[in-house]
Amino acid sequence: MFGILTSAAFIHGPIETGGQLVVVLGGVSVLLLLTFTKRWKWLFREWLMSLDAKKIGIMYLVLAGLMLVRGGIDALMMRGQQAIAVGAGSGYLSPDHFAQVFSAHGVIMIFFVAMTFMFGLINCILPLQIGARDVAFPLMNSISFWLTATGAILLNLSLVVGEFAATGWLAYPPLSELAYSPGVGVDYYIWALQIAGIGTLLAAVNFIVTIVKERAPGMTLMRMPIFVWTVLASMLLVLFAFPILTGTLAMLSLDRAIGMHFFTTTLGGNAMMYVNLIWAWGHPEVYILILPAFGIFSELVPVFSQKRLFGYTSMVVATMVITILSFGVWVHHFFTMGAGANVNAFFGIATMAIAIPTGVKVFNWLFTMFRGRIRYTTPMLWFMGFLFTFILGGMTGVLMSVPPVDFQLHNSLFLVAHFHNMVIGGVLFGYFAGLAYWFPKIFGFGLHEALGKLAFWLWIVGFAVAFIPLYILGLMGMTRRLDFVDAASGYHPLLVVALVGACIIALAVSVQFFHFLVSLRERKHRKDSSGDYWGGRTLEWSTSSPAPLYNFAHIPHVHGRDAFWRMKEKGESGREGPYEDIMLPKNSAIGLFIAGFAFLFGFGMVWHMWWMLPVSLLGIFVTILVRSFATETEYVVPAAVVARTEAHHHPV
């Protein structure tokens, strides 16, 4: 009945029990709050069952925010341990717990913060930017979100029941094999990622079809905003990379669950194959994340430079070149595995080649600003922060793409500093810029600028104080993932500095949350009544803020790039009557059901409750079957309602 789940799975040491209590009490207090405020019905009807991409996007953003807190606490715990642990057995975390923390930190930050944040922004903005009423498959969109959320829930459940992987975020075998990791931690890892990964894959299918098929009339490919291009590139990468992850994790789970030998040390298993496969996914994954960030910058730099984007065609070509090259560089993650000089040199040079289109992008942004009128708003500050940190990260990246140099820097804290440089300075700053830029569009009111700028400066300072010491420690020969250092190594003082940096970042995140709250309280006088908060150039700014359910009263007709800019120049608003009826998808609980069954499946796999597997699969099949008979899946927004909504948002 309960597989290998026993009461022992709930019993932990004192620090783990703290984590357990936080999760349980947090969950219970949310449930109580909902019950006392009688918000359950509202929550389900308006949000959880919504098929509106804008609402799904907001749910993605909320999930990313929650996970940022969780992953951030992990980061502080790690920095704390390394700052106090001098000599074996010191510090407040056991070696195994420390390993769980750094593994969870990586998994959460990549899959449940970065990916989730990205899909949040895409959902909120992409349909608006291409002049669409919603995505191609609204129900599948809801399923994608809920599968992602299920992955996150499963991962965090490991805090309460059992343990998490103590293997690092990519779970290299043979360490992640049953022989060396007999607990359920790696299984939580596998199934959290498998379920979330399927959600991601479905989302990619959805957005590819949306971009290819749902663009407003007149929006040819070469008239698409660059953000749309980069999302298309990113989703194509998901499409070709995520199935490799699915296959690889499936093989690992077959090794673990039924004793196969893909990556074991015995009977011919080959762990090096795992390393190759996981990076064949993992490297494109980096570009899956960074390309939309590049797209965001390409949107906001023209707006805040009050000038057209320089070199549109170059931007598109550069994006596509990066997309293709990103599949040819995975070996640079393991130059030290004993491949020959020809192989290493080839992959090193391929890696450097990516610097070419990336450099072109930097030049194009700079020349968009050149002879512009630059307004240093919060989004633009994030761009400037990105520019300078990214140049450092790019340099250290090219440095490590030289194989003999990498022999020395690989697995050191220099490497750790480098990829945080790219993922924080590149990806996260990009998404923060996007959130600050599109916040008025998504929520209908602007953000407190001064607090936003304060958060930015704290982030920049925190980033420098946290990661420059790591670069230096790498040059001192300190490897990653050490739960203690020796006093004689001389590492300790810099680790204390890095902890201070992590605390400054924590302060920056707190200021960000505070600034959302302050802005929310002052939302009345921060209201974006024009719909065009910044003086935008693209279609999302042509509708009201927040966009109505149906996005556009009339599907816009596009006559060139910067479609909304052209409309404004001609004095068109695209909102005048007469209006017609609009059909929209009805809300549906199907996504919740499928995710619920997927959760049961994952939980059953983790704890070997085999009976749950057929039950949950049957549940999914029946859910889909029932849905396939549904006929009334759409409803009509009558023209009169459209007219009233438009009049309300834009009183003449």
- The interface region with other proteins, picked from 71-79, 401-409, 570-578, 594-602 by CB under 8 A, is 401-409
Give the shortest CB-258-to-other proteins separation in angstroms. Answer: 7
Termini Cα distance of the chain: 66
Judge whether 150 and 141 are in contact, CB under 8 Å. no
Judge whether 430 and 389 are in contact, CB under 8 Å. no
How far, in whole angstroms, is CA 508 from its chain's centroid? Answer: 19
Give the shortest CB-297-to-other proteins separation in angstroms. Answer: 13
Q: How many residues bind other proteins (CB under 8 A)?
A: 155
Binding other proteins (rule: CB under 8 A), the pick from 22, 482, 549, 589 is 482
Binding other proteins (rule: CB under 8 A), the pick from 23, 209, 320, 509 is 209
**CA neighbor of 361 nearest in space, from 310, 286, 302:** 310
Reduced to 3 states, what is the DSSP secondary structure of residue 614? helix
Give the shortest CB-638-to-other proteins separation in angstroms. Answer: 11
- Determine, following the binding rule CB under 8 A, whether residue 119 of this chain makes contact with other proteins: no
- The interface region with other proteins, picked from 27-35, 243-251, 527-535, 599-607 by CB under 8 A, is 243-251
Judge whether 325 and 346 are in contact, CB under 8 Å. no
DSSP structural state of residue 9: G
122: tokens are 């895409």
- Determine, following the binding rule CB under 8 A, whether residue 341 of this chain makes contact with other proteins: yes
Binding mask 69-88 for other proteins (x = CB under 8 A): -------------------x
> Using only C-alpha atoms, what is the Rg of the chain?
25
- Determine, following the binding rule CB under 8 A, whether residue 568 of this chain makes contact with other proteins: no
- Determine, following the binding rule CB under 8 A, whether residue 99 of this chain makes contact with other proteins: yes
State the Cα–Cα distance between residues 525 and 8, nearest whole angstrom. Answer: 54
Give the shortest CB-69-to-other proteins separation in angstroms. Answer: 25
- Determine, following the binding rule CB under 8 A, whether residue 477 of this chain makes contact with other proteins: yes
- Determine, following the binding rule CB under 8 A, whether residue 3 of this chain makes contact with other proteins: no
Backbone torsions φ then ψ of 268, nearest 5 degrees: 95, 0
- The interface region with other proteins, picked from 4-12, 116-124, 166-174, 605-613 by CB under 8 A, is 166-174
- The interface region with other proteins, picked from 21-29, 53-61, 236-244, 510-518 by CB under 8 A, is 236-244
480: tokens are 């990653």
Of 484-513, which residues contact other proteins (CB under 8 A)?
A: 484-486, 489-491, 493-494, 497
Binding other proteins (rule: CB under 8 A), the pick from 73, 178, 254, 613 is 254
**What are the CB-based long-range contacts (under 8 Å, 24+) for 588-591?**
588/49, 588/51, 588/139, 588/142, 588/627, 588/633, 589/44, 589/48, 589/49, 590/139, 590/142, 590/143, 590/623, 590/624, 590/627, 591/49, 591/139, 591/142, 591/143, 591/145, 591/146
- Determine, following the binding rule CB under 8 A, whether residue 629 of this chain makes contact with other proteins: yes
Type of residue numbered 257: A
297: tokens are 């910058």
Give the shortest CB-174-to-other proteins separation in angstroms. Answer: 5
Give the shortest CB-437-to-other proteins separation in angstroms. Answer: 17
Binding other proteins (rule: CB under 8 A), the pick from 349, 520, 640, 647 is 349
- Determine, following the binding rule CB under 8 A, whether residue 451 of this chain makes contact with other proteins: no
State the Cα–Cα distance between residues 124 and 56, nearest whole angstrom. Answer: 8
Binding other proteins (rule: CB under 8 A), the pick from 3, 183, 372, 596 is 372
- Determine, following the binding rule CB under 8 A, whether residue 412 of this chain makes contact with other proteins: yes
**Pairing verdict, β 582-585 and 634-637:** antiparallel
Type of residue numbered 417: A
**CB of 66 or CB of 639, closer to other proteins:** 639
Give the shortest CB-415-to-other proteins separation in angstroms. Answer: 10
Give the shortest CB-137-to-other proteins separation in angstroms. Answer: 6
Binding other proteins (rule: CB under 8 A), the pick from 143, 154, 165, 244 is 244
- Determine, following the binding rule CB under 8 A, whether residue 329 of this chain makes contact with other proteins: no
Binding other proteins (rule: CB under 8 A), the pick from 243, 328, 574, 596 is 243
- The interface region with other proteins, picked from 70-78, 121-129, 163-171, 513-521 by CB under 8 A, is 163-171
- The interface region with other proteins, picked from 38-46, 147-155, 435-443, 625-633 by CB under 8 A, is 625-633
- Determine, following the binding rule CB under 8 A, whether residue 399 of this chain makes contact with other proteins: yes
Judge whether 53 and 127 are in contact, CB under 8 Å. yes
Q: Omega into 284 within 30° of 0, i.e. cis?
A: no
Of 184-203, which residues contact other proteins (CB under 8 A)?
A: 201
State the Cα–Cα distance between residues 326 and 324, nearest whole angstrom. Answer: 5
Type of residue numbered 358: T
Binding other proteins (rule: CB under 8 A), the pick from 4, 76, 208, 643 is 208
Binding other proteins (rule: CB under 8 A), the pick from 277, 423, 447, 458 is 277
- Determine, following the binding rule CB under 8 A, whether residue 360 of this chain makes contact with other proteins: yes
State the Cα–Cα distance between residues 597 and 467, nearest whole angstrom. Answer: 41
Binding other proteins (rule: CB under 8 A), the pick from 167, 378, 519, 587 is 167
Backbone torsions φ then ψ of 212, nearest 5 degrees: -70, -35
376: tokens are 């240093």
- Determine, following the binding rule CB under 8 A, whether residue 348 of this chain makes contact with other proteins: yes
**CB of 43 or CB of 626, closer to other proteins:** 626
- The interface region with other proteins, picked from 12-20, 286-294, 303-311, 502-510 by CB under 8 A, is 303-311
State the Cα–Cα distance between residues 396 and 418, nearest whole angstrom. Answer: 6
**CA neighbor of 54 nearest in space, from 114, 122, 115:** 122
Give the shortest CB-164-to-other proteins separation in angstroms. Answer: 14
Judge whether 383 and 375 are in contact, CB under 8 Å. no
- Determine, following the binding rule CB under 8 A, whether residue 279 of this chain makes contact with other proteins: no
- Determine, following the binding rule CB under 8 A, whether residue 232 of this chain makes contact with other proteins: no
Backbone torsions φ then ψ of 515, nearest 5 degrees: -70, -25
**Residue partners of 381: CB distance under 8 A and separation at least 6:** 453, 456
